[in-house]
Structure 1
Amino acid sequence: MVIYLTGDSELKKEFYVKNYISGKDIHYRRIYADDTDKISELKYASQSVGLFSNSKVYDLVDFDEWSKSEKNEFMNISFSNEQVTVFVRTQKVSKDIEGGQVVVLEKPKDWEEEKWIELILQTAKELNIICNKEVAQEIYNLVGSDEFGILTELEKLKTYSNDEVSIEDVDEIVYKRTISRLDEFLFAISERKYSKALELLNDIVSEYDAVVISYALSKHFIDLFNIIANLHRKQGEYSWSEISKLAKETEIASPKVARFLGFRFKNSKNPPFNHVLYYTPKSLSNLINRIYLLDRRVKLGDDIKVLLSELISELKQEKSEQSE
């Protein structure tokens, strides 16, 4: 039997296989794309299991990395013996696939907060951790929509909290997930920390492709524009429920919306910066146009380090003039 585990949730696939083999007397084998004898091993397994042999489970963990010819060879193998099960982890399969069962395992979308909280509760259950919804909400607030980040933090909590997790445990043990250096750079610009952005510039241009940087910069400010355009302006801080509602409306991850709106995370090392106080739709539209021109010059071959240095220096000068 062949079971195709499709979709983008690698964590759900891992638990699906784990639960399938749990408590069974079977031989379990993970097969990787760089295993040179994988086709011959699978052919042999499909033909050689005897009446008194243990059942076998083969887990093709990175099937999408196989060559086209290897995939075709695999598809031509008949796994009709009930003692052999083959899991194929893949993003998707052809609609006309024959001789197999298809199971779709998807991550929630970044903005689907309730589904992420449910995923945290399910993952805690898989790890035999007692975790209520309030605790799951706090974990989500700190970790965000990162399924293996969630797994890592739950495993830490299991070690230190005797299997029953409290809010206090989360606040003490779970650190806010480290954002990428590129995200740190983008927020340094939007939070008007221009000296910090210039300090990060050398590392950013050496670690990321120029087109990736210009695209990320554009998307960062377009996301901010969409948040401000859909925002109900008010005095004071925004609550988490308001942030969640806005995240759903804009389809932007809640932790990112929270940082844009200056939400105070308990363990955050970054002082809150409410972008609403410093940007308007008009000012953002002008800035996005400048970034668009920068992006065009990058694609024409201009040096992105020079272009970003010029843009950041201009923004720094404009900030200085506004404060005079």
Structure 2
Amino acid sequence: MPVLFLTGNADLSKDEYIKKKVEDLKADYTRIHPKDTDRIEKIRRSIQTLGMFLLGMLKEVPETVHVFIRSTRGIKGYQSISFDLPKPWEREKWIDYVKKAFKKKGLNIEDDAAELFFSMVGSDEGRIEKEIEKLMNYCESGVVTSDDVKKVVYFYEHPPLDELSFSISEGRVDNAHRVLDELLKISEPIVISSVLANHFLDLFKIVMTVPKKEKYIWPEISNISKSLKIPVPKVA
């Protein structure tokens, strides 16, 4: 039974790797989270350390099952692949990361647009992915310019607060907990509550006034923004 550790902090890259492996193997995929006690209660009771988990429980898994373990580090004797993001201060590497992320989505981004994009979005792979998806719907030419970025991309003026708001509304619970823990060290609870309240008031306006459908074209998004007085990037 192949056991592979996926180490590092690039979670989206890990997701992409697993997705491709599953497609190549034509296999079914089930992800088990540490908090999924209903699925892994037996394993959880038996585990004292990660090493015991591997040496004991994994031996019972059939050879046809591939196990991918997301971890900060590997364990001796098991194969591992590292997926690391650039360090927060490595701006040039982040710009290169942004360009490659656009390429993966079938878009090219001009150099000055990539610089602007990174300045507005910051060094968070989840935010980068989300804003690229918005530009995919907007940019028909396949080449993203600075004007496109200015019109579409949300400016994360207070990255941790914005990230918390979007993580909660998008159901990314683990990330929301992580960001909230960090925010509580540097911000007052009343400030955090105020930002969240405004965020969800905007969402409430959209839900209550906009007809629900699977996809919106860009002129519709622009009109919604004008009528509700909510910035276009946030509506998108």
With normalisation by structure 1, the TM-score equals 0.43
- The equivalent position to 1:206 in structure 2, one of 189, 192, 195, is 189
Larger radius of gyration: 1
Aligned residues: 163
Q: Runs of 5+ in structure 2 lacking a partner? A: 163-185, 192-236
Match of 1:28 in 2: 29
- Displacement, 1:206? 2.9
Q: Deviations over 1:106-132 (max 9, x none)?
A: 111111111101111222223233334
After superposition, residues 69-148 of structure 1 pair within 5 angstroms as 69=48, 71-76=50-55, 77-78=58-59, 83-94=64-75, 97-98=76-77, 100-148=78-126
How do residues 241-260 of structure 1 correspond to structure 2 at under 5 angstroms?
none
Report the AA paired with residue 189 of structure 2: S
Q: Which amino acid aligns with 1:167?
A: S
Q: Distance in 1 between matches of 2:123 and 2:46?
A: 31
After superposition, the C-alpha distances for 1:19-73 in whole angstroms (9 at most, x for unaligned) are 3233541111111112233376x9xxxxxxxxxxxxxxxxxxxxxx999527345
The root-mean-square deviation of aligned C-alpha atoms, in Å, is 3.3
Matches within 5 A, 1:186-197: none
Q: Does 1:37 align with 2:15?
A: no
Unpaired runs of at least 5, structure 1: 43-64, 184-202, 209-324
Find the counterpart in structure 1 of residue 158 from structure 2: 179
One-letter amino acid matched to 2:54: M
Bigger RCO of structures 1 and 2 (CA < 8 A, at least 6 apart): 2
C-alpha separation in 1, matches of 2:45 and 2:14 = 18
SS class of match (1:102): strand
Moved more, 107-116 or 132-141: 132-141
Distance 1:116 1:125, change over 3 A: same
Cα distance between partner residues in 2 of 1:104 and 1:23 = 20
Moved more, 107-116 or 158-167: 158-167
Partner residue, 1:45 = none
Identity %: 29
**Shift in Å, 1:138:** 2.1
Give the letter for the 1:90 counterpart: S
Q: Alignment partner of 1:154: what SS? A: helix
- Superposed displacement of residue 105, structure 1: 1.2
SS of structure 1 residue aligned to 2:66: strand
Classify 1:110/1:2 alpha carbon distance in 2 versus 1 (closer, same or farther; 3 Å). same
Confirm whether residue 153 of structure 1 aligns to residue 136 of structure 2.
Answer: no
